Amino acid sequence: MSNNLRDPKMERITTKELADQFIDEQIKEIRKQVGNKKVLLALSGGVDSSVVAALLIKAIGNNLTCVHVNHGLLRKGEPEQVIKVFKEELGANLIYVDAVDRFLDALAGVEDPERKRKIIGKIFIDVFVEEARKLDDIEFLAQGTIYPDILESNGIKSHHNVGGLPDDLKFELVEPVKFLYKDEVRVVGEALGLPHNMVYRQPFPGPGLGVRCPGAITRDRLEVVRESDAILREEFALNGLEGKVWQYFTVVPPFKSTGIKDNQRTFEYMVVLRAVNSIDATKATVEEIPYPLLFKIRDRILNEVKGVNRVLVDISDKPVATIEWE
Ligand code: XMP
């Protein structure tokens, strides 16, 4: 356990200089640990795995193989950004797996939130294991474990992860940011040159948009979640709320309501807007979005997203509500 605790003398990484120093040290550490052996990493595009990927690319270049699994529940533009940043700009050895149909077919008709999570987690591991087995000579598995993960769960990330690999794939772990807090990971990410919106992005659950499409996920409703979320994020960014509000997203309940368009009655989905502030997700309060901005977002969603005739705002704090809807 002792090598799983942060040295109390370790300075908090708050500046570019300290981050650069950390990066230099970690590059040496990584090279010492893995030598010229090969390392595998599940790269979700989240802050932690992205920073680990960028560090390892600096340390060992193409001896790192990144696997990015598109489970169909990512936000608009995410898989494209992962490919652009890591493959095109950083020259990573990146395997992109389009597993959208596999996930969505397995989730079809499944209403129970915990079963949905289990299916997503299981297929994620299955897909990752299949990719790992296709590769020769991998000896190490890199993980974006951060210090709060260690404090909370003894080290292995419990969600959207590769915790339960089969025996023939027991790799030694490489965890270069395991003693860092989230804010430090972000400072290191910026020092590594990762895009600001990737490093400072809001928390995003492992099961992705799947928990914002409550009940049985359908492809049409998932598309409404994805498109409305993209509009909400764009408007928050344009209006200075990105980086200020802790978490914001849309939810589309699994039922329709009546509306009217061009003198015809419609029967379509509703989009719920949710924006909350929190420190550690145990409690959250609702962000007061100014009405003019709400109206702008409403108009854009009603005009630009097919199959929607109503926009609502969730004004519930946590507790009594949770942040996500399921
Ligand atoms: P709740 O909904 O419990 O969410 O108030 C608290 C925080 O956790 C995120 N969340 C998850 N993250 N896997 C994750 O990785 C999950 O299954 C999951 N469920 C909720 C949520 O987005 C919020 O930031």
Tell which residue, 194, 212, 299, has the closest CA to residue 248.
212
Q: What's the one-letter identity of residue 2?
A: S
Tell me the pTM. Answer: 0.94
What number does the ligand 1 atom closest to the CA of 204 have? 22
What's the pLDDT score for residue 47?
A: 97
For ligand 1, mutation pick of 122, 162, 247, 324 (most atoms within 8 Å of CB)? 324
* Whole-number pLDDT of residue 165: 85
Residue 216 three-state SS: coil
Dihedral, 146, 152, 153, 159 alpha carbons, nearest 10: -70
Task: Output the pLDDT for position 163.
Answer: 55
> Is 177 a domain residue?
yes
Residue 59 · residue 30 · CB < 8 Å: yes
In this structure, are 192 and 99 located in the same domain?
yes
Q: Does 205 sit in the ligand 1 pocket, CB within 6 Å?
A: yes
- What residue's CA is closest to ligand 1, atom 19? 205
Structural domain that includes position 252 = 208-313
148: domain CATH number is 3.40.50.620
Tell me the CB-side half-sphere exposure of residue 241, using CA atoms within 13 A.
20
Residue 161 CB less than 6 A away from ligand 1: no
Q: What is the mean pLDDT of each run of 10 residues along the chain (326 residues)?
A: 80 97 98 98 97 98 98 98 98 98 98 98 96 95 95 57 73 97 97 96 96 98 98 98 96 98 97 97 97 98 98 98 98
Instruction: Choose the final residue of a domain: 199, 227, 253.
Output: 199
What is the CA angle 150-155-160, rounded to 5?
105
Instruction: Please state, in angstroms and rounded to a whole number, the distance separating the CA atoms of residues 160 and 155.
Output: 14
Whether 175 lines ligand 1, by a CB cut-off of 6 Å, is no
pLDDT value, residue 167: 83
Give the pLDDT of residue 159. 44
Does ligand 1 come within 6 angstroms of the Cβ of 324?
A: yes
Hey, what are 316's tokens?
């519930």
Task: Give yes or no for residue 207 CB within 6 A of ligand 1.
Answer: yes
193 and 230 fall within a common domain: no
Residue 121, CB half-sphere, CA atoms under 13 Å: how many?
17
Q: Is residue 70 part of a domain?
A: yes
